[in-house]
Amino acid sequence: MTSNFRGRSRVARRGFLPTIMLAGTASLFAGTMPASAEIKRIEIDSTVAVSNDLDQGNEVGPYELITGRAFGVVDPKDPLNALITDIQNAPRNPEGLVEYETKFALAKPKEMDKASGVLWYDIVNRSTGTVTANPYGHVQLLSGWQGDIAPNATNYTAKVPAARNADGSPITGKVLARIVDPKPGTNTAPLALLGRAIPYDAASLDTTRAKLIKKSAEKRSGELGPVEQVASTDWAFADCSKSEFPGKPDPRKLCVKAGFDPAFLYEVVYDAKDPLVLGLGLAGMRDLASYFRYSDDKTNPVAGKINHSIIKGVSQSGNTLKTFLLLGFNEDEKHRIVFDGANPHIAGRLTTINVRFGVPSGSGTLYEPGGEGVLWWNDYEDKIRGRKPEGLLTRCTASKTCPKIFETFGAAEFNARLFSIALTGTEGKIDLPLPDNVRRYYFPGNTHGGAETTTFKLAGPGSKACVLSENPNSEIEQMRALSVALVDWVVKGTEPPPSSYPKLSSGDLAANTAEAMGYPKIPGSLMPDGLAVGLMDYDFGSELNYNEFSGVLNNQPPGIRQTIAPFMPKVNADGNETSGLPSVLHQAPLGTYTGWNATKAGFFKGQPCGGGLTAGYVPFSETRKEREAAGDPRPSLEERYGTARGYQCLVQDLADRQVKDRMLLSEDAVRLVKLAGKVDFLPVDKADDAAKAKAAQLCHL
């Protein structure tokens, strides 16, 4: 894995995106704290000394990588905790408190006098995360927050209790499982939500109390082809992989007597039991970060050395961060602010962590909740869905505990993560204003998360799953620069780069059709029509607090009241988007970089690829002759840049400009210019006079 620290000295000491895996073991250390504290105790399982190779000036020095476990309690009567779904049904200790446990990792300078005073908390994604030494002197923290994932030697999870009725009987409720593209010749599959395991046992193995159907076709919009119900005698909650039907009873597996037919999607609704109190994971994030920031107890390895704290979440964990803020968890039980800065990245939804029988590892496919809660920062009255005015920052505004926020996202999030709703509301008539403490940055033409730029090549790698080639456009370099800017804003009050994103008022947004978006007719290219995912107004029943996305999902699968159509960013004659903060590659394009793609084969053939998160790439022709032969309306590389040298000069100018605008770190600029110097297209010896003249113009000759 490539490091995101590229030789910056401690003089900068401002921001980072960690990537190096923790390894090693050390001695055991344990301490205790007063029983009234939110974190009762921590146990250190290992401490590993590591060199700090990226600290070239040796201004911070070596790091210690610490792993351990934290044991916490929450008071279910405290209003800050009472909103946790099923907290009142959780078992309590003799003090009347609810207990939880979380695994954590901490990276800190060995000499804490050289630390920057910044605690950087990374929310792990589906239990995986990393800690690393860094040249800035920041302390990095991560911990488990998902109580539904089984722990192992390398992941980070939380241990939370299951809720029970007051009489001790199990709590039950409806759960939906969906199995797609099963392997031919198989008859058993885990109960899952399109690949994400359902973390609950079936309450009964009696199939007459459940319903299994086979779908012949399904669109992301909810439109279905013919549906067939499977007789209760022809399937079982069981594992038939090693024995004949009805196999070995198993409350988390599904066996079909006739075997799975890959041409169908299998959907089962059944009663599950013993819901986990997953919302405790949010309290654990709050309490552990607050402990390391504020506690002067001798068990705190960074006691007295933290002045500011920042939290970041990416994709699923970014959705978790928005949920964390919505529910007011940035205020600890002593009413102090926990994080001064926050960066939800590529996160357009909320996470199903505070609903009964939630599946936080879901990814926003059909029938999955996540768009029910508020998706905007300021209070906004969602008249279309009949909701009261509320925003992601309503609670922290009231308690004066809101952080400074960078909201960062790219094209795939417009396509599949409801960002046009976050920008324009459900009515889609105006640009919703941003609060003073929020900055928004949009990266055009990217796949979900964007790839780091490692080469400038004309031909992109083909995709096994999608129609268009893999999209090589990057946002990683810009995110590194913005992480620096966020730390500067939090620590020094330095105003960050201005927000930049598509707006209705600027004419940047359009309906999801090629005509409205301005997408060109490229021979053989996939068109964008209908590939963006709209906001489903699901009916999950009356026991769900929709605005705060908390409570009980009674209806499974939910009814679809209406679908709110998305906007998409407009594009130029090349098919490339025109708004936001384009990368160097996007400004010196080698092709068309889309935020959308279509599935190549299988049950979802022709539907949004990767759930709408996988973007595409259509390279330009190299020469004018090749372009004209193909009937491609987009100018060729030869017509754009003349020669390889012309392209290299343009990349140099663009990189210099982005460094000046604080959207690119100087070391990344140097690296990109070096990569541009290695391009193998348009060699000089093949250039005609027109190409040479174009290159001379770009090189200011």
Res 147 pLDDT > 70: yes
Per the model's pLDDT, the better-predicted residue between 330 and 611 turns out to be 330
- Check whether residue 269 and residue 225 sit in a common domain: yes
Q: Which of 2-16, 229-243, 656-670 has the lowest mean pLDDT?
A: 2-16
For residues 303-307, average pLDDT: 97
* pLDDT at residue 30, as a whole number: 38
Three-state secondary structure call for residue 342: strand
- Check whether residue 264 and residue 281 sit in a common domain: no
For residues 68-95, average pLDDT: 97
Please state, in angstroms and rounded to a whole number, the distance separating the CA atoms of residues 428 and 413. 17
Contacts of 580 (CB under 8 A, 6+ apart): 441, 442, 443, 444, 500, 501, 502, 569
What radius of gyration do the chain's Cα atoms show?
Answer: 26
Res 155 pLDDT > 50: yes
* pLDDT at residue 609, as a whole number: 94
Res 586 pLDDT > 70: yes
pLDDT in tens, 256-276: 999 999 999 999 999 999 999
Res 685 pLDDT > 80: no
Per the model's pLDDT, the better-predicted residue between 326 and 28 turns out to be 326
How many separate domains does the chain show? 3
Res 451 pLDDT > 70: yes
Range of the domain at 226: 172-273
Percentage with pLDDT > 90 across the chain: 87
For residues 227-239, average pLDDT: 98
* pLDDT at residue 384, as a whole number: 97
- Check whether residue 78 and residue 185 sit in a common domain: no
Res 668 pLDDT > 50: yes
DSSP 210: S
For residues 619-634, average pLDDT: 95
pLDDT in tens, 410-427: 999 998 888 999 999 999
Res 170 pLDDT > 50: yes
C-alpha atoms less than 13 angstroms from C-alpha of 696 in its C-beta half-sphere: 8
Instruction: For residue 446, tell me if it sits in a domain.
Output: no
Instruction: For residue 402, tell me if it sits in a domain.
Output: no
Instruction: For residue 593, tell me if it sits in a domain.
Output: no
Domain final residue pick, 248, 273, 298: 273
Please state, in angstroms and rounded to a whole number, the distance separating the CA atoms of residues 43 and 28. 8
Domain final residue pick, 264, 286, 306: 306
- Check whether residue 294 and residue 246 sit in a common domain: no
Please state, in angstroms and rounded to a whole number, the distance separating the CA atoms of residues 641 and 150. 53
* pLDDT at residue 88, as a whole number: 97
- Check whether residue 231 and residue 97 sit in a common domain: no
C-alpha distances (whole Å) from 288 to each of 62, 143, 278, 387, 577 are: 24, 8, 16, 34, 41
DSSP 299: T
Q: Answer whether 127's CB lies under 8 Å from 144's CB.
A: yes
Q: How confident is the model at residue 286 (pLDDT cuts 50, 70, 90)?
A: very high
* pLDDT at residue 25, as a whole number: 33
Instruction: For residue 562, tell me if it sits in a domain.
Output: no
Instruction: For residue 490, tell me if it sits in a domain.
Output: no
Domain final residue pick, 225, 248, 273: 273
Res 6 pLDDT > 50: no
- Check whether residue 66 and residue 187 sit in a common domain: no
- Check whether residue 134 and residue 281 sit in a common domain: yes
Please state, in angstroms and rounded to a whole number, the distance separating the CA atoms of residues 249 and 260. 18
- Check whether residue 71 and residue 51 sit in a common domain: yes
- The H-or-E segment that residue 453 falls in is none
pLDDT in tens, 425-438: 999 999 999 999 99
Task: Could you list the beta-strand ranges (E) of 411-508.
Answer: 438-443, 469-470
Instruction: Label the pairing between strands 509-511 and 567-569.
Output: antiparallel
Res 188 pLDDT > 90: yes
Return mean pLDDT, the chain: 92
Please state, in angstroms and rounded to a whole number, the distance separating the CA atoms of residues 289 and 145. 12
* pLDDT at residue 21, as a whole number: 34
Instruction: For residue 211, tell me if it sits in a domain.
Output: yes
* pLDDT at residue 524, as a whole number: 81
* pLDDT at residue 37, as a whole number: 47
Q: What is the pTM of this model?
A: 0.94
Q: How confident is the model at residue 195 (pLDDT cuts 50, 70, 90)?
A: confident
Helices (H) and strands (E) in the chain, counts: 14, 31
DSSP 574: T
* pLDDT at residue 35, as a whole number: 40
For residues 97-125, average pLDDT: 97
Q: Which residue has the tokens 């200790």?
A: 93
- Check whether residue 135 and residue 265 sit in a common domain: no
For residues 564-587, average pLDDT: 97
* pLDDT at residue 283, as a whole number: 98
- Check whether residue 149 and residue 176 sit in a common domain: no
Q: How confident is the model at residue 515 (pLDDT cuts 50, 70, 90)?
A: very high
- Check whether residue 5 and residue 76 sit in a common domain: yes
- Check whether residue 112 and residue 249 sit in a common domain: no
* pLDDT at residue 364, as a whole number: 87
Instruction: For residue 43, tell me if it sits in a domain.
Output: yes
For residues 632-640, average pLDDT: 96
pLDDT in tens, 365-389: 999 999 998 999 999 999 999 999 9
Burial grade of 73 (CB within 10 A; 0-12, 13-18, 19 or more): buried
Q: Answer whether 458's CB lies under 8 Å from 605's CB.
A: no
Both structure tokens of 292: 């390391």
Instruction: For residue 45, tell me if it sits in a domain.
Output: yes
C-alpha atoms less than 13 angstroms from C-alpha of 108 in its C-beta half-sphere: 23
Q: Answer whether 514's CB lies under 8 Å from 522's CB.
A: no
Three-state secondary structure call for residue 455: coil
Separation of CA 414 from chain center: 13
For residues 285-307, average pLDDT: 96
Res 28 pLDDT > 50: no
C-alpha distances (whole Å) from 698 to each of 7, 641, 647 are: 30, 7, 8
